[in-house]
Amino acid sequence: MKKGPNNLPWELHDPAPEPPVWKQPVDLSDHMPAENVLPRPVSTERVEL
């Protein structure tokens, strides 16, 4: 890990204007329907009742 002044990580001294790619939330809306992004263990029957 890169060290900046005071032997601290550079991120504490020089924050990037945008978060790194690996910190950005993944948008799956373009790849699959929103209802399929998270598992739905609850049956639809129980929701409709």
The sign of the torsion formed by the CA atoms of 14, 20, 22, 26 equals positive
What is the predicted pLDDT for the residue at 1? 55
Over residues 23-42, the mean pLDDT reads: 59
In the DSSP assignment, the letter for residue 26 is P
User: In sequence order, what are the beta bridge partners of 9?
Assistant: 3
Contact of 4 with 14, CB cutoff 8 Å: yes
Over residues 24-49, the mean pLDDT reads: 59
Q: The tokens of 3 are what?
A: 């060290």
What is the predicted pLDDT for the residue at 43? 60
